[in-house]
């Protein structure tokens, strides 16, 4: 859960910078689309840096960690969006609507698989440095 908290803090900072720097240049919706990819990079970086510390020993445990991270992030995104930012359900759902350009399902998929991908990357690195 500590790593999940780090993910939330990183994504809140990321979102704040998106609003301040990217929205004025490309608009709100396009900036949200672009931020999915930079957000995925942030998630993967944190996952790689914390993979050993998490201590998940099997792929099943890594996917369980990813599922907890994703469920927590969904709850946080929806809760913060509704309660703090006062976003409409339509606005929140638009981020998840792949048909109309909402790319957040891609980010959530990366979040789900991040512990597993981090483990694979670390194994690959270790194999290259032998």
Angstrom CA distances, 49 to 14, 27, 45, 53, 73, stand at: 18, 32, 6, 8, 19
Domain that holds residue 73: 2-125
DSSP secondary structure code for residue 58 in this structure: S
The pLDDT of residue 130 is 59
Give a yes or no: residue 105 inside a domain.
Answer: yes
Domain count, the chain: 1
Q: Note whether residue 22 is domain-resident.
A: yes
What pLDDT score does 46 carry? 98
pLDDT of residue 128: 77
Looking at residue 37, its pLDDT comes to 97
The reply to whether 62 falls in a domain is yes
Q: Is residue 130 part of a domain?
A: no
Cβ contact 45:62 at 8 Å: no
Give per-residue burial for 102-127: e unless 16+ CB within 10 Å, then b.
bbbeebbebbbbbbbbbbeeeeeeee
Residue 73 within a domain: yes
Task: Please write the tens of the pLDDT for every residue from 83-97.
Answer: 999 999 999 999 999
111 within a domain of the structure (yes/no)? yes
Low-confidence ranges of the chain (pLDDT < 50): none
């Amino acid at each position: 859960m500590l790593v999940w908290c780090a993910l939330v803090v990183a994504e809140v900072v990321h979102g704040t910078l998106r609003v301040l720097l990217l929205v004025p240049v490309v608009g709100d919706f396009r900036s949200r689309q672009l931020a999915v990819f930079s957000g995925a990079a942030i998630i993967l970086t944190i996952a790689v840096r914390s993979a050993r510390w998490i201590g998940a020993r099997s792929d099943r445990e890594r996917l369980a960690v990813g599922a907890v991270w994703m469920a927590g992030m969904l709850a946080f995104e929806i809760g913060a969006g509704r309660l703090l930012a006062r976003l409409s359900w339509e606005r929140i759902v638009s981020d998840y609507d792949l048909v109309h350009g909402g790319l957040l399902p891609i980010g959530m998929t990366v979040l789900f698989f991040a512990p597993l991908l981090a483990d694979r990357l670390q194994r690959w690195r270790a194999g290259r440095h032998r």
